[in-house]
Amino acid sequence: MEGDVTEHLWVWLPEDRVLFSGDSPPHGVFPAVETARFEIGRNPDQMLVAVETSLALQPDFIVPGHSRTLRGREEIDGIMTGARDAIAFLIDQVNRFVLSNRSVEELLDTLHLPPAIAANPELQPYYHRWEWMVRQRFVKLVGFIDDSMDYLSLNQLEESRRLVPLLGGRDRVLALAETSVEGDPRWAARLATYLMQVDASDSAAQAVRQNAFLRVAQTTTSTNERNYLLGLILEENGDINFQQQLAPLNTRAYATLSSLELLNRLKYRLRAEDADNIELSFNLNVEDEDFVLSTQQCTEGHSRGLVG
């Protein structure tokens, strides 16, 4: 049976009343109805059906792909009922706000999890935060246009260039960020980000933002949020070099590609902002195979050709 993704597989042993449930039904954390990364195949409605089906089967044991084995009707019914209600709440309320032309910002500002769900120890945000799931669900349903101002909004960098002076200038914003790190680290990180979007080399703002990231990582219940933030700090400070770490894997992957496929990858390295009004064409020989490489209209192309 499908779960949250189509690749999901169940094994049901009716004689023993044992359900091997794979990744679904979920328990131990708030169900990952959506994730922070855009997963086209993840289907909240199908996840809900999977949970309801697990309840209808009335298993005595559920052996999941993650978390602990559930034993006995009381434990299974209690946990699966809670998961069902949490999934249904998120689906229904996001749909409600979408259909009434209300924004995700309004939903997050006015709507909170029902007390029974919020207090359930099996439904805590130890994996993804429910706020992330709500935002991702909105994107899937209505795209990035969530409010009338989304048609008119400036990009974040331009908005930051205008906001920083309104907030009192760089030094004032930096001071506000510094004093907010302990009590309101998420706001501190946002203020510091405004400064970094105005000047990417602002090391003082970067230090404040990293302190804010660290504070959030120390207090969040989401393991994913903690991992993301600590990883960002290490990457910014050069303690993690993903390009270097992934180089052996990339080398093995590139070995499976043809010369033309490899050359086509070069297109993604073209700096279009530096290529305006530049037209260039030249021949290249790779392992006795000839190619024509060309650049025009800020794009790059590669094709097989004849030299001479």
Length of the chain: 308
Residue with more model confidence, 70 or 266: 70
Ramachandran sector of residue 121 (left: φ over 0; alpha: ψ -120 to 50; beta: rest): alpha
The total domain count for the chain is 3
Question: Out of 96-105, 243-252, 276-285, which region has the weakest mean confidence (pLDDT)?
Answer: 276-285
298 and 193 in a common domain: no
Residue with more model confidence, 58 or 29: 58
268 and 293 in a common domain: yes
Amino acid at residue number 135: R
Confidence of residue 303 (pLDDT cuts 50, 70, 90): low
The helix (H) or strand (E) run that includes residue 283 is strand 280-286
DSSP character for 61? E
- Per-residue pLDDT, 4: 66
Q: Determine, yes or no, domain membership for 189.
A: yes
Question: Out of 80-89, 161-170, 286-295, 296-305, which region has the weakest mean confidence (pLDDT)?
Answer: 296-305
pLDDT tens-digit map of 124-137: 888 888 899 999 99
pLDDT tens-digit map of 251-271: 898 889 888 888 888 787 878
20 and 142 in a common domain: yes
Query: The CATH number of the domain where 171 resides is what?
Result: 1.25.40.880
Q: What angle do CA 89, 95, 97 make, to 5 degrees?
A: 100
Question: By C-alpha distance, which of 7, 93, 83 is closest to 52?
Answer: 83
Dihedrals φ, ψ of 268, to 5°?
Answer: -80, -5
pLDDT tens-digit map of 141-151: 988 877 778 88
* Predicted confidence (pLDDT) at residue 308 exceeds the cutoff of 50: no
Amino acid at residue number 72: G
| Cβ within 8 Å of residue 121, ≥6 positions away | none
Structural domain range at position 116 = 11-146
- Per-residue pLDDT, 307: 42
Distance between first and last Cα of the chain: 60
288 and 198 in a common domain: no
- Per-residue pLDDT, 96: 93
Looking at the whole model, is its pTM more than 0.85?
no
**What's the CA gap between 187 and 212, in Å, rounded?**
8
Q: Parallel, antiparallel, or unpaired for β 61-64 and 18-22?
A: parallel
Question: By C-alpha distance, which of 46, 38, 36, 37 is closest to 4?
Answer: 46
132 and 221 in a common domain: no
Across the beta sheet with 11-13, the strand order is: 11-13, 18-22, 61-64, 70-71
163 and 48 in a common domain: no
Amino acid at residue number 169: G
Q: How far is CA 237 from CA 200, 206, 232, 271, in A?
A: 14, 10, 9, 25
